Structure 1
Amino acid sequence: MRLAITHDTRYRYSPWVQTAQHVAHLQAADTPCQTVICHAMQIAPEASVQHSIDAFLNHRAYWALTHPHEGLSVRAYTEVETRSVAAESLLASAQQSWEAVRAQFRYRGGQPGDVHAGMVFGSHHAPVHAAFARYAQSSFTPGRSLAQAAQALTARMHGDFHYATASTDINTPALEALQNKRGVCQDFAHILVACLRSLGLPARYVSGYLLTQPPPGQPRLVGSDASHAWASVFLPELASHACQGWLDLDPTNDRCGLASPGLDYVRLAVGRDFADVSPLRGVLQGKGSHTLEVAVTVAALRG
């Protein structure tokens, strides 16, 4: 499937900002499930952009605005070809128990480290806490495979939690969202990551996009989509496969898949939580207020 993504961000400042430095994660990377055909970013006011790869192998862009400005506009346009890397039979063959994986990532002095071990520890938005472990426990019964347990937890969250736009923001703690059983995809991803880590399992946060479909008989609205977020858990027994061992889990839509939940998903960046992969953040000089507008359009292309 070929998808085109337009991600528009507009800030307006009052009074004007004197100087600013910005970091963006708006360029998708090639993965086992996707190939980036083209990517372009337009910034106003114009700036010289520096590109680099961060610690999680995400594309990162940096620029500085050294003169007063009343706003910032960033448009990122990307075309991506998505594909499937594995059949359901491969996922069904993943039988390593969750307890065995937990034991593999338990710290032992003098033992060689594992590059995925950093995803076991809690982070600001996805902390390790007994409340997350208690919620997850009924899905992680003794001897159950990690793959089956993680999918069961994803499905249970989909049934237990209510998607409520504007009910939370990035400052809402994951524990609060867990208690209230409501939030948006970002909250659900943080909760799922926190549940897995609280059981001693390596899990990461994934930011990206999802092709959404309008109700039957209604036209698709340009800009009606938004950035999406989901989680993934590491299955060591599949590390040598094209999926690199990662099983993606989307509790918002109860979708799961190796390396991607489906052909209609585009992965943008991965990290410990949202703080690692924020689409756009910055440091501004000048006190005042600002308004923010974000519009994301994901469209399927022919051919």
Structure 2
Amino acid sequence: MRANSDYLMRVTLKNPAIRLALGRFDELTTEGIIRHDADPVAGRLFAGGLASAALMTVLLDEKESYSIRINYKGPVSGMLINARADGRVRGLVRNPHVMTAADSVEMACGDDGASVAVVRSREGKVLNSGEVKTAFIMPSAALGYFLSVSDQVESEIRCEVVFQPDPAAPVRSADGVLMQAMPGCDLEEFGVLRQRLLEPPAGAILRDRMPEPEEELRALLMLLCRTAQPPEHSVTMVEPARFACNCNEERMREMARQMLGEEDFQKLLAEKPDPVIRCQFCGNEYHLKG
């Protein structure tokens, strides 16, 4: 594995009784930002949302998926992200050019926090859903709060995204960690670990580039547990998250037919020589005639 290649791992500890997801999402976040031409403010929020959703895929069983909606009262409006158990992630930010109205994340989101709605499903069948209101505006903190309150599993998510002035590669690094309490976990101890995860040293570990992902994990575990060696743990490398859309010509044509109704759909085909529909998630365009 290249030092800078995307990866995702699932980590389980017995003492303390916690589980982690640790990952690198440079390619995922870069793809999302470029596809939506997101400016630096919208891009920071969107990258955090994509990375956080990617971390949450380790919580899914086979063939399951999350549909995540984060809404703000500010001019950025919000984002919608779909994340699947196999690592396929796609998303959109509703106002990717928010800097015309706001020059900071705080101004873009507004002063009313965020509302977070998450649907967990398997092959189109809803398994569970929930919605919470939170004062957190960064997607990582908002989704960690959602898991703690709606799923009732004490959780924390931290993502560190660093940008660079390169339109072809706007993300220099995007690393994140999800931490959850397991059955039997001392919640007071978890609170201490959570605080350590949110402190600057943990952020520095996520931003630094270590030769191997396992080295980053070891450094993080020793920091969280305040030990000279990482506590006993098991690691499973899973499929790295990637920006992937499930749109295709047939699906987009059927969606247009359902949105317009059969009569208006046929009228559109008769009036326009070559109507085109654009996928809101990936930007791919499809010809409706064919």
TM-based fold match above 0.5 = no
Q: TM-score scaled to structure 1, two decimals?
A: 0.23
Q: TM-score scaled to structure 2, two decimals?
A: 0.24
Normalized per residue, the structure richer in strand is 1
Larger RCO, structure (CA 8 Å, separation 6 or more): 1
